[in-house]
Amino acid sequence: MNNTVTYALLHLLCQVSLCERRVPVTKRNEILVKYLKPKLKDKRLANIKKELKLMIQIARTPNSNLEEKLHELNQQAIDVKASSRDNLIRLLADLKDNDGFDSQVFDEGQPTEPDVLCMLEEHIEHCFDELGYQIAPISMLIESARAYELLDIINHNNSFRAEMKEWNDSTKQAHLLLHSHCQN
């Protein structure tokens, strides 16, 4: 359940970051429904099918805010024990709110924007085990003159260590690898 909630929030965060304008709650609910609906057919999630249906029902209820409910569930799980996947969500939110580094899912068809961390959605999903602990480094790309500043910010975070895999000084493009301090 926690994995599904966390991945739903991560998916929403990435989808919303692709939008240029503020995304209203109704649209956020639609994004979450599109993410959750296929999960109903996933045999591995049969034990939480009832909860998935409830989440979808909440999202479709007028004046409801599924994102808020999922954040509450996520916070409860974090309070119990934070996984590296949970820490990644917090790190990305902090980077956006406190340091001006947004994040998004990398889309080959779209040009990259300055100061936006790009990650592959499939890569993110495969970097964590079923409990949400990191099992492989997370690859991140960014075009920013502040790439080394970003590296320092992440490395001062207690949850992750970042390394500069590649740096192109002329284009200010960096390839970072993110390693979790969280152990399972």
Concatenating the DSSP letter of every residue in 16-84 gives: HHT-SSPPPHHHHHHHHHHHHGGGGG-GGGGGGHHHHHHHHHHHHSTT--HHHHHHHHHHHHHHH---H
Mean pLDDT of 115-141: 87
Kindly state the average pLDDT of the residues 12-22: 85
Beta strand 102-105 with 116-119 is: parallel
Q: Kindly report the CA angle at 131 between 130 and 132, in degrees rounded to 5? A: 95
Residue type, 118: C
157 in helix, strand or coil? coil
Report the range of poorest mean pLDDT among 9-13, 110-114, 158-162: 110-114
Residue 144: predicted pLDDT: 95
| pLDDT of res. 115 | 92
- Residue 106 is encoded by which pair of tokens? 């990398």
pLDDT tens digits for 73-97?
877 766 556 678 888 888 999 999 8
Report the predicted TM-score, pTM, of the whole model to 2 decimal places.
Answer: 0.56
- Output the pLDDT for position 106: 83
Q: What is the pLDDT of residues 112-127, one digit of tens each?
A: 789 999 988 887 888 9
Task: Report whether 129 contacts 135 (CB < 8 A).
Answer: yes
Average pLDDT over residues 155-168: 90
pLDDT of 36 over the 70 cut: yes
- For 19, other C-beta atoms within 10 Å of its C-beta total 11
